[in-house]
Copies of this chain bind each other. A is one copy, B any other.
Amino acid sequence: MVTMNQLNTKARNTWCPGCGNFAILTALKKAIVELDLKPENVVVVTGIGCHGKLGDYINVNSFHVIHGRVLPVASAIKLANYELTVIGHAGDGDAYAIGLGHLPHAARRNVDIVYIVHNNMTFGLTTGQVTPTTPRGLKTRSTPYGVFEDPINPIALALACDATFVARGFAGDLNHLTYLIKEAIKHRGFAFIDVLQPCVTFYNTYQFFRERTYRLEDEGWDPTNKVEAFKKAYEWGDRIPIGIFYRIEKPTFRDSIPGYPKQPLVKEDLKIDLTDLLNLLT
């Protein structure tokens, strides 16, 4: 059984002290330990941004891809070898700006991966510009007179995309986040977690969210009703819910693909006999 320590790497961590990414990293490690996953069977796919460095800091397979493309890469890794646990980590810029076009599709296909969005409401690594989740009015480097667009609602969006597992976490609530990641890994299908992640340098929201977040689980939330979940998604004021908004079971992408072999693609023999097919072309 792997230990937390064995999940460390030699790479030097360059996140700002206090950054919410640390909690997400820890929660992920804890989830892997507690679910007793083998490091060589876990793949973490990360986007470009502060969050993207996560792969360097955890001793499992990782692929640090390009900005916004976590979902297609992660989806195909899972299709190629469904015995792997595939976990995508994206920033809010990554996931909701440049990469938003992939979300509805990964969701409706119900690809069996976990998708964790490090939602710090800022482009961290490029020094603090507006993202699609930055609240209106906030002054950022690219909106020095205040953000002038309304933010998206990731939870409502994921619901409308028919994701089968829709959750929100908070980097200030490590235990709960660990729980969410474990549930997401266990979920058979596309598991989406938007994590409220304070960025101490560009948008420190620790206090704001500490004062407002509450756990849906504490209120006996029934996560099986999409319309109710949708309504809940718009609760964003003095009280901000975290937890699993919605969760259902349906066939995964692989289940539906015609001709998916009896074993992972990666185990299939490369040699095939094309004689029959060639004869069709005579």
Q: Which residues of A contact B (CB under 8 A)?
A: 96, 98-102, 104-105, 108-110, 132, 143, 145-146, 148-153, 156-157, 159-162, 226-227, 230-231, 234, 250, 253, 256-259
Contacts and interface: CB of A to CB of B under 8 A. Distances in A.
Count of this chain's copies in the oligomeric assembly: 2
Contacts of A253: 148-149
Contacts of A161: 152, 157, 160
A152 B157 CA distance: 12
Contact of A231 (B110, B150, B227): B227
B149 A256 contact: yes
A150 B227 contact: no
B104 A132 contact: yes
A241 B105 CA distance: 24
Given A108-B149, A152-B104, A160 B157 contact: yes
Nearest to A100: B101
Nearest to A158: B160
Q: Which 4 A-B pairs have the closest CB atoms?
A: A101-B101, A160-B160, A148-B256, A145-B258
A164 to B, nearest CB: 10
Contact of A159 (B100, B108, B160, B231): B160
Nearest to A108: B150
A244 B153 CA distance: 22
Contacts of A99: 101
Contacts of A152: 104-105, 108, 161-162
Contacts of A257: 148
Nearest to A105: B132
